[in-house]
């Protein structure tokens, strides 16, 4: 995958440069191969927020526009619901994506809202 563009500001508190740094980290060939599902959850979330993916990374919703901060928070909640797999929809997301993908997506989405530290972990 190519680097993310700095042309359009993201719909979140994170800057394009911060997002590009995270993209570079998770696409680095040195990133542990055993964590590929986690990285995929992170990267698909970054792609969605930057407008490089049409459907949301967990629920698969198509907004027809860049997600708002509210949309990002909602998708993060969906990732958590999938990780816990308590509801019927959560179980479906858990089966569709797997725990590590959902964990990566949740961490990235919450980070994109301005929560957490300087990096996704």
Q: How many Cβ atoms from other residues are within 10 Å of residue 96's Cβ?
A: 13
In DSSP terms, 55 is beta-bridged to: 62
SS3 of the chain: helix, strand, coil, percent, to 5? 55, 0, 40
* Per-residue model confidence (pLDDT) at position 9: 56
pLDDT in tens, the chain (121 residues): 455 555 555 667 888 899 999 999 999 999 998 899 999 999 999 999 999 999 999 999 999 999 999 999 999 999 999 999 999 999 999 999 999 999 999 999 999 998 888 888 7
How far is 112 from 60, CA to CA, in rounded Å? 18
Length of the chain: 121
Tokens in use for 38? 């986690």
Side-chain half-sphere of 99: how many Cα atoms within 13 Å?
Answer: 2
How far is 5 from 62, CA to CA, in rounded Å? 21
Tokens in use for 96? 């569709």
User: Residue 76: enclosing H or E segment and its boundaries?
Assistant: helix 69-84
Inter-residue contact 112 to 14 (CB < 8 Å): yes
* Per-residue model confidence (pLDDT) at position 1: 45
């Amino acid at each position: 995958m190519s680097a993310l563009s700095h042309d359009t500001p993201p719909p979140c508190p994170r800057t394009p440069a911060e997002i590009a740094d995270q993209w570079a980290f998770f696409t680095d060939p040195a990133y542990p191969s055993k964590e590929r599902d986690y990285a995929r959850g992170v990267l698909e979330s970054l792609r969605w927020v930057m407008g490089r993916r049409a459907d949301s990374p967990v629920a698969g919703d198509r907004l027809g526009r860049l997600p708002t901060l509210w949309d990002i928070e909602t998708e993060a909640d969906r990732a958590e619901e999938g990780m816990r797999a308590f509801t019927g929809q959560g179980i479906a997301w858990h089966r569709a994506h797997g725990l590590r993908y959902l964990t990566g997506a949740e961490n990235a989405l919450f980070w994109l809202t301005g929560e957490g530290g300087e990096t996704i972990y």
